[in-house]
Amino acid sequence: MIYSVLFLITGLGLLLGGGSVLVRGSSSLAKNLGISPLVIGLTVVAFGTSAPELTVNMLAALKGSSDISFGNIIGSNIANIGLVLACAAIIKPLKIESSVINREIPMMLLASVAAIIMGYDTFLRNAGEMYDRSDGLLLLLFFGVFMYYTISGVLNRKSTDLFVEQAKEKGVQFALPVRKRSIPIDLFLTGAGLALLIIGGKFSVDSAIKLAQLFRVPEVIIGLTIIAVGTSLPELITSVIAAWRGQAELAVGNVVGSNIFNLLFITGIGASIKPIAIPSSGHTDLFMMLFLAIILLPLSISHQRHIVRLEGIFLLALYAGYTLWRTLHI
């Protein structure tokens, strides 16, 4: 048991470290090749910061552990609102930009509803409740439309955009090292980051399966809790620091963007590799994810478009209560 726990902690550490090394290496490489910080932020950094979740889900799918894939994706989205956004709001009230209320949160709601419908569209096929390859490809198509809509909106609008500012800041942050690096070093860092991700993902998935078997706990619970929170640590750290610095728009954009990315891109990739079955109790998690996405809208509108500390405490208590209930009722 001790070895499994150590391997899980080591795996999560390698995932986080590998994602950071990958982002910094590939972002600096893109900068050396003349790519703008905006494009780097919208593509390289966005993909790289979601690399831990993506790696875990790809390896879990290849191993046939679809419960871990499902738990990690849905658990990460629940944790992003109930834990990450809640902690950021408790530190400092978060001002919500109008573009988030009018576009990003509704987009996240649509992605959540689409994920639920696709998972339970058994009337369209003879298979059980799952995300099959056709669902995965459709989700990837939706993700492509979302990225096209975001990038074309950036190019066609003169006004500032939440994702634009976030992308620019992240692109500059990751693409401009203190000392200019050579392309071979950037290639080495990119390769090292990928290697760390693969090793960390294998450690995490293997140890999660062993712990689930040892404690006779469903794999989906391990995915919903330990792995989901572990792979969401980059979002937690980024959002807490942004809130502390008074950059509320980055904290909110980080959470909403990550949730859209998880549902459309990571679920799409995982289901395209191998169908992801929905566990027997998975409907509870899906509707909890949808519920948090729904209540985020009125919370964002209230208090003159601020999520205040009391609302952050409410979200955190809701997350803690649900996690405890979900763990005890297995």
150: left (phi over 0), alpha (psi -120 to 50) or beta: alpha
Confidence of residue 120 (pLDDT cuts 50, 70, 90): confident
What's the whole-model pTM score?
A: 0.82
pLDDT digits (tens, 9 = 90+) for 272-326: 988 888 988 889 999 999 999 999 999 988 888 889 999 999 999 999 999 999 9
Fold topology of 2-328: A middle domain of Talin 1 (1.20.1420)
Contact (CB, 8 A) for 88 and 94: yes
Confidence of residue 168 (pLDDT cuts 50, 70, 90): low
What CA–CA distance (Å, rounded) separates 21 from 12?
A: 14
What CA–CA distance (Å, rounded) separates 144 from 126?
A: 28
pLDDT digits (tens, 9 = 90+) for 85-102: 999 899 888 888 777 788
Most confidently modeled of 144-153, 171-180, 222-231? 222-231
Residues near 38 by beta carbon (within 8 Å), at least 6 away in sequence: 154, 164, 167, 168, 171
